[in-house]
């Protein structure tokens, strides 16, 4: 699912996410102990012209189905990434993220991911 045209030297780094993934998430409690386990299907596809990567999420978290669509873009100056997620209940969340080697980190106001 490789994008043919990239618009900066940072865009190809996102291509490692392109495709379909089955994800297992382990929540961490504020004290660092492990919490609940959730499962998700994640599909990443490039938008036409390759400026943005679209992330479709379908997950079961705490016994509830969670669906969202995230649009990921590139901050060409910093080499980092930014995104906005839209959930099925009409909510939005903004994130910044980094890809360092095989590690993908996402930071938002109340959510974080490190994997």
pLDDT digits (tens, 9 = 90+) for 20-51: 999 898 888 888 888 889 999 999 999 988 88
Q: Residues near 96 by Cβ (< 8 Å), separated by ≥ 6?
A: 80, 81, 82, 83, 106, 107, 108
What does pTM read for this prediction? 0.84
Domain coordinates in residue numbering, the chain? 11-114
Average pLDDT in the chain: 87
Burial environment of residue 81 by CB neighbours within 10 A (0 to 12, 13 to 18, 19 or more): buried
Q: Which two tokens stand for residue 38?
A: 């959730």
Percent pLDDT > 90 in the chain is 44
């Amino acid at each position: 699912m490789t994008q043919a045209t990239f618009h900066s030297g940072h865009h190809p780094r996102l291509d490692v996410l392109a495709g379909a993934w089955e994800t297992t998430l382990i929540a961490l409690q504020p004290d660092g102990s492990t919490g609940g386990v959730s499962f998700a299907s994640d599909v990443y596809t490039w938008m036409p012209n390759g400026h943005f990567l679209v992330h479709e999420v379908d997950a079961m978290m705490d016994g509830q189905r969670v669906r969202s669509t995230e649009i990921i873009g590139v901050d060409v100056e910093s080499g980092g990434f930014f995104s906005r997620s839209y959930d099925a209940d009409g909510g939005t969340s903004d994130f910044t993220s980094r890809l360092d080697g095989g590690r993908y980190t996402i930071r938002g106001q109340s959510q974080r991911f490190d994997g």
